[in-house]
Copies of this chain bind each other. A is one copy, B any other.
Amino acid sequence: MEPCFLTAAEAAARIRDGKLTSEALVRSCLARIEARDPQVKAWLYVDKAKAIATARELDKRPPMGPLHGLPFGIKDMIDTADMPTTYNSPVFQDYRPARDAACVGVARFSGAVILGKTDTVEFAAAGRRAATRNPKNFGHTPGGSSSGSGAAVGDRQVQLAFGTQTGGSHIRPASFNGIYGLKPTWGSVSREGAKQYSNMLDTIGWYGRSVADLSLVASAFRLHAVGEVSVPEVASLKVAWCRTPFWNRIEPAGEKALALACERLSKAGATLVELTLPKPFDGMFEAQNTIMMGEGRASFLDVALEFRDRLHQDFHDRVGNTLGITPEKLIAAYDLAADCRRAFEALYSDFDVVLTPASPGEAPEGTYNTGDHVFNAMWTLLHVPCLGIPCTTGPKGLPVGVQIVAPRYDDARLLALAEALAPVIDLETPLYAPEA
């Protein structure tokens, strides 16, 4: 089998055991990119020579860290010192940052091999969409704004990649691409060097093809207690499945995924309880939008002044506050979020984990509409860690996942829970790529 089809954790083990070189792994990924990416269009930039040279260097030295020798893709609104960073914006086509973003630095100094930059919605916010197509059906979006990262990992072109989430930009593409994704607790990964949209929301996450892949990256970022929590027995777990207050926007495929996940867990002995969130949570979707748009005023002011007519109108709209967001509305949104954070965590005395949709259904048609973030926005604003797990397929045969959610800073426990739950929930994903 081609090494590109290995998960990151499998590849890491083989490299550690001397059964695989980083160079062979990187070359396999690059070959896959060459074969597939003219159609998928996940990458805005790939530096083959540099990736191979880095892999060779890593093959010669003792392990640098948990990501030693593993290929990594970087969403192109995250700065890289040795590659262009375009934010997929027409006004940043020639931008070459002088320094890696903090998260790229952590990956690199943990041994990752940066293959290149993946396509994104402009500034991970609005404006220009990624050209990326869903690897499972080129007529559909891979989701966004982490379009290229989701598609590249889904298409087995790279083992790991960074995405970001302000609304639903990370977990939704995980669902649409049939892959695993972790959006860690807000604040636990530095956003320095990533394009800023919203202080209160922006979160850097990563994609992999197994829970173990996500844990590898979590250990590189030294998330609290990662690797110290033992994996529970499924039969010992009480899982709270949650439709959320936004169930009116679910699609049949999303409903099917949640029902199937519950059914499989129940069959495996888990106790399933329905969680109905208290009334104040009804306002959390609007609150997320208020904060995102309200904070967007400041985030895009510099580019609005610098690039004027050349900047997409979407960003001028944010700077100009065309939604008319008042301070009162913004403050109410912050305060509601704070209340709901506490209320949400208090609920955990009654169960172990929350299971909830990762997307309304399968990926929409075309590449303009990257999907609805209604099943993600609330969790982003709650600052809680979310972990996307593949589950089933929709009417068009495209992947649809679910997500599990834990209290703030419980990322390590969420990963341990996922180790137990994922083998039960994720029954339909072919072990490697469909055509492998």
| A contact residues vs B (CB 8 Å cutoff) | 65, 95-100, 102-103, 105-106, 109-110, 186-192, 195-196, 199-200, 221-222, 224, 295, 297-299, 301-303, 305-306, 319, 327, 330-331, 334-335, 338-339, 341-342, 345, 407-410
Contacts and interface: CB of A to CB of B under 8 A. Distances in A.
A99 B188 CA distance: 26
B410 A327 contact: yes
Contacts of A224: 327
Nearest to A103: B302
B200 A196 contact: no
Contacts of A195: 192
A299 B190 CA distance: 5
A289 to B, nearest CB: 15
B199 A191 contact: yes
| Shortest beta-carbon contacts, A-B, top 10 | A338-B338, A327-B409, A105-B302, A109-B305, A102-B302, A192-B196, A98-B98, A190-B298, A187-B199, A106-B302
Contacts of A189: 298
A219 to B, nearest CB: 12
A102 B335 contact: no
Nearest to A302: B105
A410 B109 CA distance: 43
A221 B305 CA distance: 11
A200 B96 CA distance: 29
6 contacts: A189-B298, A190-B299, A191-B199, A222-B319, A330-B409, A338-B338
Contact of A342 (B65, B102, B335): B335
Contact of A221 (B190, B221, B298): B298
Given A102-B301, A327-B408, A338-B338, 4 more contacts: A97-B99, A188-B298, A192-B195, A224-B327
Nearest to A320: B222
B327 A196 contact: no
Given A186-B199, A199-B186, A409-B330, A301 B221 contact: yes
Contact of A98 (B96, B106, B196): B96
A413 B187 CA distance: 31
Residue among A186, A187, A319 facing the most chain B CB atoms (10 A cut-off): A187
How often does this chain occur in the complex, in copies? Answer: 2
Nearest to A110: B305
A345 B105 CA distance: 40
Contacts of A190: 196, 298-299, 301-302
Contacts of A200: 187
Contacts of A98: 95-98
A222 B99 contact: no
A305 to B, nearest CB: 4
**Residue from A97, A190, A303 having most chain B Cβ neighbours under 10 A:** A190
A301 B335 contact: no
Contacts of A106: 301-302, 305
Nearest to A327: B409
A335 B192 CA distance: 24
Contacts of A97: 97-99
A292 to B, nearest CB: 12
Contacts of A327: 224, 408-410
Nearest to A104: B302
Contacts of A298: 102, 187-190, 221
Contacts of A99: 95, 97
The listed residue with most B CB atoms (<10 A of its CB), out of A188, A224, A303, A327, is: A327
B302 A109 contact: yes
Contacts of A65: 305
Contacts of A299: 102, 190, 192
A98 B338 CA distance: 37
